[in-house]
Structure 1
């Protein structure tokens, strides 16, 4: 099975695959894959669904039919946010810690782009989810997670910022502000599925910074000082600018931009899919085969460059490690394209 996980030149993996050294300066991809899937472990559902099963829905009516209209708030919000589809895993009626372990293990074998809980998750499950995200990243599976908090936590942004610090990771976003829509109040955890849908549904060459969200108001209006503190902590925050509610800045808890991380994840995911389909075991490891592989990777990176995802891609054989036998070692570099988010003016009169 192809792997997008890390590799160590002193201890190479033994199973067939095209391995990526997933570092800041190097990644690889060949073609774009399907994006826009949000994964949700659903806590309540009707008799038409069975515990510990997967269901994929792309329309609210489908979700209502399967799970009941009163149980699909998180699914509805994910679709409203822009998700193409929601991959639902039905939790047992009274889930125990072991059931959350089973849930994470079950999602290991499924493809999705963003994971989010149905409602508030206790800190223990948040921490275990962070470990799960990192394990998957190491093993070559790349996805984002969106967390949120309770009403009490939302009332004090410092508490939400502390959660961002505790959950600091390139692949984790932490919403610390909820809101109100059509008379319904949402905590940040309850509104997190909308943000998961927004992240999953936004093109990898676009940012969610200043994106308008479907809220009438926020449940906590932050002061300028609180906004700066939240951004410094890597928190995902919403503000009411007097006309609309919008995302202040698309940040992961590590401080990395969501746009940059999503592009990085897409590239790492795409190469494993295409390598398994078209390259592993199908081309010779000789100059011609190596040139074909390099050409394919470079062509895709150049398409990403044309789409303003990256700049200046370079692909070449690694001169430090010979590509021989059944192994090929490549050096790949590029620069990410970010969005203009701060404009500084000097006006001379």
Structure 2
């Protein structure tokens, strides 16, 4: 008679034999998630409308012209250059879409810009007789001085749409030195525009949300959106705004300094948003040197800088020939027993947000609906949490951690798990108190 064997669920076998279960040793599947993600609405003269565009730092220079109608070095792209000084990935939303598309009529056919916006008025189409075949024509599309498309065809019906214009109509082509498209306009920006953006961006994961504008109502809209997602849905990110220190909330960063050489005095938001998003959890922007292109107003007295920090304003100040971040803080200043001054530090918030986001991913992907809520299941979860926190300590994001600082218990019902987690985030050195004793 053959011996029994195989795997077992409960110890109820009858036949003698070896019943062996093969399982993996406990190990954490939670890893430290990447930072560097920004979500921001921007006024643009060209680009996709009513949709969020994912733009990577590694690809922005190559794809900039086709996406937004300008070379990366053009003046119109300065906000992107500021943003990508620190950001790795940006979710861009053209906030002023919905305008008119530029167009023109040549003979019996029409040429229409692919996107609305004033950049469409810089599009020109040239038609030349082909030098090799007089019965055909070279149809060339220019955006500004840049040739973006050339086709050789015999009739209008053969023309193919390109990345910038669409052709329609029928008939015979005729030479032209160049016909410009006209009538392109940008859309009107109002509160509904920003509400639509926030609705579309809500499903995305990002570290920083930003609004580089001065409208008080729009800033309030961003504050309420941030509070709702952080406090009611557990989505951890921070929002960078211009002169909104009265938010008094750890999720809002308010930059005070205005830009002096741009029509948008809030343009410093672009650089700071990229830097806050890209800053690692074991680092701080305190004393970080501004390396962007704007001229920043730093005409503040020492007393004004001290007052600004006390009221939750992130300030830039002169340090020799450089302009540096004075202290990497957010707007939270109403300290309580439950939330002390540590919550004013963006480095601390980055650590806490990282823990919240990463543990949620761990639980939702590995444990939710998959692991039994019994002693062994909770031990497995505890092991993963300990391993994750050891990673944080290894990179000096937290300190003085021990496995006993995490407690995983059964909740009030069979489906609930309660975790108590004691952490001590590490901060950077910002103040020196020194006593020199001379004998």
Q: TM-score category by the smaller chain? A: 0.7 to 0.9
Q: Using a 3 Å threshold, how does the CA distance of structure 1 residues 224 and 32 change in structure 2: closer, same or farther?
A: same
Equivalent of residue 290 in structure 1, options 353, 378, 383: 378
Partner of 1:79: 84
Are 2:220 and 1:140 aligned?
no
Equivalent of residue 123 in structure 1, options 213, 216, 235: 216
Are 2:184 and 1:96 aligned?
no
Mapped to 2, the partners of 1:284 and 1:312 lie a distance apart of: 31
Unaligned 5+ runs, structure 1: 1-28, 149-159
Partner of 2:302: 224
Describe how 1:26-37 pairs up with structure 2 within 5 A.
30-37=30-37
Deviations 1:163-220 (A, max 9, x none): 31x222101111111346xxx5475510111001111111110010001111575323
- Would you say the 8 A contact 1:304–1:310 is kept in 2? yes
Give the structure with the larger helix fraction.
1
SS in 2 for 1:219: coil
Partner of 1:53: 51
- Where relative contact order (Cα < 8 A, 6+ residues apart) is larger, the structure is 1
Partner of 1:342: 431
Mapped to 2, the partners of 1:297 and 1:280 lie a distance apart of: 15
- Would you say the 8 A contact 1:112–1:143 is kept in 2? yes
> Structure 1 residue 323: deviation in Å?
6.1
With the length of structure 2 as denominator, give the TM-score of the two structures. 0.64
SS in 1 for 2:361: helix
Mapped to 1, the partners of 2:202 and 2:292 lie a distance apart of: 33
> Structure 1 residue 31: deviation in Å?
2.2
Partner of 2:17: none
Partner of 1:280: 368
Mapped to 1, the partners of 2:213 and 2:361 lie a distance apart of: 33
> Structure 1 residue 315: deviation in Å?
0.8
> Structure 1 residue 274: deviation in Å?
2.0
Instruction: Point out the structure with max Rg over C-alpha.
Output: 2
Q: Using a 3 Å threshold, how does the CA distance of structure 1 residues 271 and 297 change in structure 2: closer, same or farther?
A: same
Mapped to 1, the partners of 2:316 and 2:358 lie a distance apart of: 31
With the length of structure 1 as denominator, give the TM-score of the two structures. 0.80
Mapped to 1, the partners of 2:316 and 2:229 lie a distance apart of: 29
RMSD: 2.0
Mapped to 2, the partners of 1:186 and 1:267 lie a distance apart of: 39
Deviations 1:38-84 (A, max 9, x none): 111122241xx32111111124422343113354332221102x111
Describe how 1:104-123 pairs up with structure 2 within 5 A.
104-117=198-211, 119-123=212-216
- The number of equivalent residue pairs is 298
Mapped to 1, the partners of 2:366 and 2:397 lie a distance apart of: 24
Deviations 1:231-266 (A, max 9, x none): 111111111112211100000011511111111111
Which stretch shows the higher mean deviation, 297-306 or 62-71?
62-71
Q: Using a 3 Å threshold, how does the CA distance of structure 1 residues 258 and 188 change in structure 2: closer, same or farther?
A: farther
Give the structure with the larger strand fraction.
2
Are 2:295 and 1:209 aligned?
no
- Would you say the 8 A contact 2:259–2:267 is kept in 1? no
Mapped to 2, the partners of 1:137 and 1:340 lie a distance apart of: 28
Mapped to 1, the partners of 2:265 and 2:348 lie a distance apart of: 23
Mapped to 1, the partners of 2:31 and 2:265 lie a distance apart of: 35
Are 2:420 and 1:331 aligned?
yes
Mapped to 1, the partners of 2:287 and 2:213 lie a distance apart of: 25
SS in 2 for 1:310: coil
Q: Using a 3 Å threshold, how does the CA distance of structure 1 residues 71 and 218 change in structure 2: closer, same or farther?
A: closer
Mapped to 2, the partners of 1:264 and 1:65 lie a distance apart of: 39
Partner of 1:154: none
> Structure 1 residue 345: deviation in Å?
0.7
Partner of 1:39: 39
> Structure 1 residue 36: deviation in Å?
0.4
Are 2:399 and 1:311 aligned?
yes
Q: Using a 3 Å threshold, how does the CA distance of structure 1 residues 268 and 283 change in structure 2: closer, same or farther?
A: same
